[in-house]
Chains A and B, each alone.
Chain A
Amino acid sequence: MKKVPTVCPYCGCGCGLFLHVEGGRVIGVSPNRNHPVNQGSLCVKGWNCHEFIHHPDRLKTPLIRKNGKLIESSWQEALQYVAKRLSETISRYGPDSVGVLSSAKCTNEENYLLMKFTRAVLGTNNIDHCARLCHSSTVGGLAAAFGSGAMTNSISEIKDARVLFVIGSNTTEQHPMIAMHMLEAVDRGATLIVADPRRTKIADFATIYLQHRSGTDVALLMGIMHVILAEHLVDRDFVMRRTENFHAFEESLREFTPERVEKLTGVKASDIRKVARVYATEKRSMLFYAMGITQHITGVDNVKALANLVMLTGHIGLPCSGINPLRGQNNVQGACDMGALPNVYTGYQKVTDPKARRKFERAWKRRLPERAGLTVVEMTEAALEGRLKAMYIMGENPLLSDPDLNRVREAMEKLEFLVVQDIFLSETAEFADVVLPAATFAEKNGTFTNTERRVQLIRRAVLPPGGAMPDWKIITGLSSLMGYPMQYRDTYEVMEEIALLTPSYGGILHYRLDNGFGLQWPCPDRDHPGTPYLHRKKFARGLGTFLPVQFRMPAELPDEEFPFVLNTGRTGVHYHTGTMCRRTTVLEREEPEPFVEINPRDAEKLEIREGQRVRVSSRRGSIVLRARLRDNTSEGVVFIPFHFREAAANLLTNPALDPEVKIPEYKVCAVRVEPLEVVKRPKRPRRVDIEELRIT
């Protein structure tokens, strides 16, 4: 038995674990006991991440659609076909008729190569990935305020903090190992403040829990800052020396008295005052947030409000003091860093900046497009309007993860050509013209960047099944066929190229990651030890800037026809669209079917019993699933996890976008809940006498 050290493929915590290999198969997992994130622990997903690797459903050969059916083919045939069709599309409709989705599940090297392929070979900036749907607000909001959009602290600092303010994050279930550090801080006497419209487990450990109305985060935060200002709790020295634009911002707070905020948010004015005092007066205060903040049409405003809060109190730029977006996917930080986004190259160098563009043109020896490309949701629009003709999707499943699925499906149907590269035949792959079988995290080398900017090595433990290939090899193969040879011996050579072109990754090379637990960017050169916390002494953009924001209500509010607010999210045992976890025995057994959480008082009014089947409908679609009576959402709010294809929550969600970064409002839309008629039990069949059955 061999034990191969690598990194968990599920969430952004980036836990260190060993894959146990025997006879060419991964047969187990154990946690790394020295790893700074998980320190010998794992969550249930991590403990079971070995099982899907050898699942019989794994894709083993390329598939090409012929006469409406996906037929097995050879790699040569498949890649040549893809190359031909993509070239044809480009020569017919121009490069911007192709869209590419990269993957936050794939390595940095693979994201970099697909980004390079899109820009240098296809000649378009139409590349995006699921970060659009989770933390684009963060990248937009924090970049504007500080010049860099990532978690500013390290996970290992959490236990020494004195105040933890968690807003819009179900930390215990979605980042279990970060919650472990939070629990330790609480055990050591830290004050935990939790704000979330849905009461999740982390609230059980909170000193103060605020249940504000969905979509009123801006108001709540403005109220807190109003109190800080009114009670002279502002860190004046910090504001003066390290920030700008304070006065314009100060004005914007005027109307947000705690009493008015109470009316908007439903949180008591006294609680708002209490939170403001605790958060502002205690030093070593860490702020955490996740999808509850970002997935709104006011996502960027929410993030800006949080940035204002940390600058107002001077809680940034020190250990245990900062603002911490908890990134969802194992490598969503890395996929963003690698420029799998329509407007930036690696390290957030803008495509519209001629200097940056020239640098990449010289390195890649190709002319590069000048205009920013389309985002995920805009690609759907473009496909519907007939502007986008072909898509290349690597390891993403928009047909379950994007909002308003009926429209997404329509868009996919309109495409002339769709390529999907994945490990299983996902909902999206079922639609594809060509399906390319890829390798899992256990079958390739590369790096993942976790939520605290830690770039870590993943190592090949076994070979991919059948003809499946690592994503980076598929991309280089395809690129060569399209007349742009990409030659790399292994992913470490790709990383060297990334380091050369990306200032924040300048010193990050595989050989430096081989011992120990990776490096945290920025890491500008080969002697740099990495950066555990950001914005020390000065912000990435120089001075931090206060960004006044306006309070706006969600795009779709409940009315008579659709009287409930629908909140969507994940459960603790499943991950996103479930391609991996739903093929894992104990995980699937924990939550085998879709459900809707509804407040018992609402359920009583609608005469819905626990476990009863109900129909939930919005203006866009309708699904049937079982009711679960829980009082962790307030009356008038229901919650549905989006993992399940049987009743996809995203058939209901509203594709209303944040105007700045185009993140859809997954967290609020209006729905109707109707109990399905209880089917009367059929009459018990008459007991048949054995004698009667005997043939006579």
Chain B
Amino acid sequence: MKGWILPKNSLSYWLRQLRKDSDLIGPLRTPDGDIVFESVEKIHEIVLDPPASLPSVKEFFLPQYETVFVFKTDTVRPIQEKRKRVIFGLRSCDVAALRLLDRFFLDSQPDPYYSERRKNTLLISVVCNRPDPTCFCVGIGAGPYLKEGFDIQLTDLGDRYMVEIGSPRGRRAVREYSFVFQRPRKTDLEDQFEVQLSSTARFQQRINLEGVRSLILSQRVDEGFWQEVANRCIQCGGCVYVCPLCSCFTVTDRVYQEHIERVRLWDACLFKGFTRLAGGILPNDAPVSRTKRWFYHKLIYYPEGIGGFGCVGCGRCAVVCPSKIDMATVVLNIKRVSENAVSG
């Protein structure tokens, strides 16, 4: 892997060139001060120092609502998006999550919709200099910077970016405009290392998912604990919707006068109807069985099936959960409860 230096002055030029055949997505400030990913009209409006935890970019690969095909009595027309995209400013946790989602959507039975979008999207991720209080990717190896798996990874060194290339797609995007990039000097590498060190040191919470996994597996977390968690849950589905690794969807048909659209929508295992059976039977009618399952899926089943935890420590569930039963809080509670049990 080779590094390059991109002066911040040249960033807008480079992005403008990349935008010529793609839709450029980046973090923009909304009128009321929130920051969201959307199509960039004016490149200078991109927020270069956004908070660490931005909304997930999952929606650009698995949209909340998409028409997958349209059919009539005798014809079926698949809808496939061919649009090319460049996503600028996403974080390491998002890139790490996409790598895991790839295993779900691309291994064994590839999903053509996801696969097409993945192929057509260039990711330019930015290393977190200042993680948010809700972030805990560092303990999981999903951030604040990555060693591999990205297309292009930028590290903010003040007036310039250190640019690392991690894929052929990334290499093309740099090589084509190589005249705006420079060779890094030794001091650049030292600066980059310092950013990595200081960012890592800034995390406010260290969360050991492996420890909690073994606590659960060794039956040290009783049903009462999960009941308490479930009591607080209002089944909004927010944690699932924002989780960059939750990939559940449902399909439904929209019947128009002339044609029918097969639609795929985000779904969540926290809904009792998610497992509704014929005859109206609800195997997971008790909220505890659903809430608990979400955590089990992330902590136990994911490592078994996909390899790696079903959590990258992005902390988005902590932002979105109205009841404060996000991954970090629950995991820390499990640890506290079991430690108390041991000491008591």
Interfacial residues, chain A to chain B (CB-CB below 8 A) = 1-3, 5, 16, 18, 20, 22, 27-35, 38, 40-44, 46-47, 50-51, 55-56, 172-173, 176-177, 179-180, 183-184, 187, 201, 204, 514-517, 572, 585-586, 589-590, 592-593, 611
Contact = CB atoms under 8 A, between A and B. Distances in A.
Contacts of B141: none
A34 B30 CA distance: 11
Contacts of B238: 31, 41-42, 47
B65 interface: yes
A41 B271 contact: no
B236 A43 contact: yes
Interface string B19-38: 00001010000111110111
A1 B38 contact: yes
Given A1-B25, A180-B323, A20 B280 contact: no
Most buried by A among B31, B34, B320, B322: B322
Nearest to B235: A44
8 tightest CB-CB pairs across the interface, nearest first? A28-B64, A589-B273, A180-B322, A41-B322, A590-B273, A27-B65, A56-B256, A40-B319
Most buried by B among A29, A51, A179: A51
A29 B257 CA distance: 27
Nearest to B265: A585
Contacts of B32: 5, 16, 32, 34-35, 515-517
A204 B252 CA distance: 35
Contacts of B38: 1-3
B120 interface: no
Interface string B23-63: 10100001111101111000000000000000100011001
Nearest to B250: A585
Given A176-B322, A183-B323, A589-B271, 14 more contacts: A5-B30, A5-B32, A18-B34, A18-B36, A28-B65, A32-B30, A32-B34, A35-B32, A41-B236, A44-B235, A56-B256, A187-B324, A201-B234, A611-B280
B166 interface: no
B31 A5 contact: yes
B68 interface: no
Chain B, interface size category, equals 35 or more
Interface of B: 23, 25, 30-34, 36-39, 55, 59-60, 63-66, 231-232, 234-238, 241-242, 250, 252, 254-257, 265, 267-268, 271-274, 276, 280, 319-324
B236 A586 contact: no
B34 A179 contact: no
A204 B265 contact: no
A38 B238 CA distance: 12
A41 B323 CA distance: 10
A33 B319 contact: yes
A3 B265 contact: no
Contacts of B237: 44, 47, 586
29 contacts: A2-B38, A3-B37, A5-B30, A5-B32, A18-B34, A20-B64, A28-B65, A29-B64, A32-B30, A33-B319, A41-B320, A42-B320, A44-B237, A51-B265, A172-B234, A179-B234, A180-B234, A183-B322, A184-B324, A514-B31, A515-B31, A515-B32, A586-B265, A586-B267, A586-B271, A589-B250, A589-B276, A593-B280, A611-B280
Contacts of A177: 322
B282 to A, nearest CB: 10
A183 B232 contact: yes
A647 B324 CA distance: 37
Nearest to B281: A611
Nearest to B39: A1
Contacts of A176: 234, 236, 322
B10 to A, nearest CB: 26
B135 to A, nearest CB: 15
A42 B236 contact: yes
A265 B63 CA distance: 52
Contact of A34 (B34, B232, B271, B280): B34
A32 B36 CA distance: 9
Contacts of B271: 44, 586, 589-590
B89 to A, nearest CB: 14
Contacts of A44: 235-237, 271
Given A3-B30, A34-B33, A586-B271, A28 B59 contact: yes
A675 to B, nearest CB: 17
Contacts of A179: 234, 322
A50 B65 contact: yes
B344 to A, nearest CB: 23
B54 to A, nearest CB: 10
Contacts of A187: 324
B255 A56 contact: yes
B230 to A, nearest CB: 10
Contacts of A592: 273, 280
Most buried by B among A31, A515, A572: A31
Contacts of B250: 585-586, 589
A586 B323 CA distance: 21
Contacts of A589: 250, 271, 273-274, 276
A179 B323 CA distance: 9
A20 B238 CA distance: 16
A32 B31 CA distance: 11
A580 to B, nearest CB: 15
Contacts of B257: 56
Contacts of B65: 27-28, 50-51
Most buried by A among B25, B32, B231: B32
Contact of B254 (A46, A56, A590): A56
Contacts of A22: 63
Contacts of B320: 31, 40-42
Contacts of B272: 590
A342 to B, nearest CB: 37
A24 to B, nearest CB: 13
Nearest to A53: B65
A177 B25 CA distance: 30
Nearest to B28: A3
B63 A27 contact: yes
A586 B273 contact: yes
Contacts of B234: 43, 172-173, 176, 179-180, 201, 572
A434 B59 CA distance: 41
Contacts of B66: 27
A60 to B, nearest CB: 10
B267 A33 contact: no
A41 B325 CA distance: 13
Contacts of B255: 56
Contacts of A204: 231
A18 B30 contact: yes
Contacts of B324: 183-184, 187
A585 B248 CA distance: 14
A515 B33 CA distance: 8
Given A20-B64, A34-B34, A56-B256, A47 B265 contact: no
B291 to A, nearest CB: 14
B321 A41 contact: yes
A47 B37 CA distance: 17
Contact of A20 (B59, B232, B267, B321): B59
A51 B23 CA distance: 25
Contacts of B321: 41
